[in-house]
Structure 1
């Protein structure tokens, strides 16, 4: 059985992104993935600065789109 889009996004974030985020106490949670939108919740240091959060989202979008073409964009949720 193949992974769902949500599982693919979660695996990529867990394996490739989370270790760097955890160094400064930040965390990313995959809330949902549907219709090409990956909804992510950011907790910790990165969630308190809008400019930092936008930079992170843009970088994550590019990386996810390379690996999972069905992802159109990331939406940060509270």
Structure 2
């Protein structure tokens, strides 16, 4: 169990997202932070990351790994498809 509220996770998660963003930009990709809900981090991969065959690996071993190392090992990341930003409860 993660010992932080969703609200307490918001700024640390934003900081980690900003930390990994330059790596994605090297391949013309980007990432947007959407929210934290029930200790799950909702993000959206953008740019060249959309539809890229390596996007799952980027999500798991780049973004999620960094969040687990910097914040808490039980954090999970969910990529929100374009157009689903307002419907994360159904993901």
TM-score for both structures, normalised by structure 2: 0.70
Larger radius of gyration: 2
Question: What pairs up with 1:53-64 in 2 under 5 angstroms?
Answer: 53-59=55-61, 60-64=63-67
Larger helix proportion of the pair: 1
Distance across 2 between alignment mates of 1:41 and 1:30: 7
Contact 1:6 1:30 in 2 (8 A): no
Residue segments in structure 1 that go unaligned for 5+ positions in a row: none
Report the aligned-residue RMSD: 1.8
Residue segments in structure 2 that go unaligned for 5+ positions in a row: 1-6, 82-91
